[in-house]
Amino acid sequence: MRLYNYMEEVVKDILEKLLLKKQDICKCQKCKFDMMAHALNRLPPKYVVSNKGIVFTKLQEVEIQFRTDVVKEVTRAIEHISKNPQH
Ligand SMILES: [Zn+2]
């Protein structure tokens, strides 16, 4: 069993999907982490206890509920970081 911030998973997933549509920006690991950090600092954490199958049902509800906000923040993070890459 472990405790983790499910928001991280949602942000990571949405970031990967949004980056697929972006052609002309840096997508290195450093920029991806910077984008995740930027978005996560603006989103509420969503801590869940992971105990095998039980967590998945909960996760889908959380995902639907927060997806719009997450997409908005991740889009903002991509724009911010791609304009000011930290390397
Ligand atoms: Zn980069």
Q: Which of 1-15, 17-31, 40-54, 70-84 has the lowest mean pLDDT?
A: 40-54
Question: What is the CA(12)–ligand 1 centre distance, in A?
Answer: 16
* Predicted local confidence at residue 64, as pLDDT: 67
- Look at 32 and 45; give whichever has higher pLDDT: 32
Percentage of residues in the chain having pLDDT higher than 70: 85
Beta bridge partners, 50, equal 2
Segment 3-27 shows an average pLDDT of: 91
What CA–CA distance (Å, rounded) separates 27 from 81?
Answer: 10
Question: What is the CA(28)–ligand 1 centre distance, in A?
Answer: 4
Buried b (16+ CB within 10 A) or exposed e, 5-22: ebbeebbbebbeeebeee
Is the pTM higher than 0.85? The answer reads: no
* Predicted local confidence at residue 57, as pLDDT: 55
Question: What is the CA(30)–ligand 1 centre distance, in A?
Answer: 5
Nearest residue to 74 (alpha-carbon basis) of 28, 41, 25, 47:
41
Question: What is the CA(60)–ligand 1 centre distance, in A?
Answer: 31
